[in-house]
């Protein structure tokens, strides 16, 4: 009898500690994706693994982050906006992939077929988590008519620091046959921002007022920089923003930052086409900073220095 009482007390205490001491990042899954929550229960970001039945997105694929929230809980991303229904939060895709078949995984359909071209999720797991940070391990397959053209391994290390949610993204793409990404002025790693406020671009030198690049003229893209970002100021007085920090190990990059499309896009195919040899991974690294308030210049400077030294 004493053993039963003792066991019951232990279970009760374990249950109490399991709730009160849960202070770690958690990942909740459903049929359409997974949501990462901070130790206090706030939603940090969501990764969509499938299209919702009522989605307005015209792209065939899901496999994107949206929303990505600031520490105050405000989203910086947009999904299927009315000006470009195929845009989807934070995503990686190209519209002219030439391998065993031609494929447009972006969703445009101008230079390669979109039908039967799908980025399909093959798994998402919480690889590690504590009260400070979390790391997601994501696997996707880029399919053309059911055949794998590219295997994608993505790690996302997430933490909240000061006024920012910091997401370190490492994409590893491995082609199943020699594959070429055509030269293009946009595509690749893309952050589609919300469009319901006053939008401004920023860079290491302050506000970036470079001309809007032409979507078919890669030479008009913005020059290489350690980072570019944006802010969105709302009528209620609040401001949010996003910063994308490039990594020196990435291929040479120009930026298709189009203030008419509310877009941050470091484009590795703007300088020229990229060739992926069969079985040889292409690794791309980006640090995304979703912040409250104006661009936190000193924090971004510190995060840039840290990221580029890795």
* pLDDT tens digits for range 150-191: 999 999 999 999 999 999 999 999 999 999 999 999 999 999
pLDDT exceeds cutoff 60 at 6: no
In angstroms, the CA 114 to CA 106 distance is 8
Whole-number pLDDT of residue 310: 85
pTM: 0.92
From CA 163, how far away is CA 263, in angstroms rounded? Answer: 21
- Tell me how far the alpha carbon of residue 61 is from its chain's centroid: 14
Q: What pLDDT digit, counting tens, does each position of 182-222 carry?
A: 999 999 999 999 999 999 999 999 999 999 999 999 999 99
C-alpha span between 122 and 138 (Å, rounded): 8
Residue-wise pLDDT for 226-263, tens only, equals 999 999 999 999 999 999 999 999 999 999 999 999 99
CATH architecture of the region 25-309: Distorted Sandwich (2.70)
Q: Which long-range contacts (CB under 8 A, 24 or more apart) does 115-120 make?
A: 115/60, 116/143, 116/144, 116/145, 116/146, 117/60, 117/61, 117/142, 117/143, 117/144, 118/60, 118/61, 118/142, 118/143, 119/61, 119/62, 119/63, 119/93, 119/143, 119/152, 120/61, 120/63
The answer, yes or no, to whether residue 16 has pLDDT greater than 90, is no
- In angstroms, the CA 90 to CA 84 distance is 14
Per-residue pLDDT, 97:
98
Q: Is the dihedral of CA 151, 304, 253, 255 positive or negative?
A: positive
pLDDT score of 10 more than 60: no
Termini Cα distance of the chain = 58
Looking at every residue in the chain, the average pLDDT score rounds to: 93
Question: Residue 251 has what pLDDT?
Answer: 98
* Residues in Cβ contact with 215 at an 8 Å cutoff, skipping those fewer than 6 apart: 185, 186, 256, 258
> DSSP letters of 44-96?
EEEEE-S--TT----SS---EEEEEB-TTS-B-B-BS-TT-TT-BSEEEE-S-
Q: In the predicted model, is pLDDT for residue 284 greater than 70?
A: yes
Among 43, 42, 89, 95, CA closest to 62: 89
pLDDT tens, position by position, 35-85: 999 999 999 999 999 999 999 999 999 999 999 999 999 999 999 999 999
3-class DSSP state of 201: strand
The pLDDT, as a whole number, for residue 22 is: 66
């Amino acid at each position: 009898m004493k053993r039963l009482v003792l066991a019951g007390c232990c279970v009760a205490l374990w249950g109490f500690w399991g709730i009160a001491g849960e202070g770690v990042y958690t990942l909740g899954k459903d049929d359409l994706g997974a949501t990462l929550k901070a130790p206090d229960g706030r939603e940090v970001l969501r990764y969509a693994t499938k299209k919702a039945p009522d989605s307005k997105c015209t792209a065939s694929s899901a496999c994107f982050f949206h929303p990505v929230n600031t520490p105050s809980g405000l989203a910086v991303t947009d999904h299927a906006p009315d000006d470009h229904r195929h845009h989807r939060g934070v995503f990686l895709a190209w519209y002219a992939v030439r391998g065993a078949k031609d494929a447009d995984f972006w969703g445009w359909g101008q230079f390669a077929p979109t039908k039967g071209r799908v980025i399909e999720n093959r798994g998402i797991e919480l690889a590690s988590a504590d009260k400070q940070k979390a790391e997601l391990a994501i696997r996707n397959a880029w399919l053309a008519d059911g055949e794998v053209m590219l295997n994608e391994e993505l790690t996302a290390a997430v933490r909240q620091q000061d006024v920012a949610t910091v997401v370190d993204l490492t994409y590893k793409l491995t082609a199943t046959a020699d594959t070429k990404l055509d030269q293009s002025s946009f595509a690749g790693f893309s952050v589609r921002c919300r469009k319901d406020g006053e939008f401004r671009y920023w860079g290491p030198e302050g506000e970036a007022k470079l001309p809007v690049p032409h979507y078919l003229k890669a030479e008009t893209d913005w020059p290489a920089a350690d980072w570019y970002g944006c802010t969105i100021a709302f009528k209620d007085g609040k401001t949010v923003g996003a910063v994308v920090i490039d990594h020196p190990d990435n291929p040479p990059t120009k930026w298709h930052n189009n203030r008419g499309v509310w877009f941050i896009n470091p484009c590795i195919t703007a300088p020229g086409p990229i060739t992926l040899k069969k079985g040889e991974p292409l690794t791309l690294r980006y640090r995304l900073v979703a912040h409250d308030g104006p661009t936190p210049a000193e924090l971004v400077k510190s995060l840039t220095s840290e990221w580029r030294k890795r």
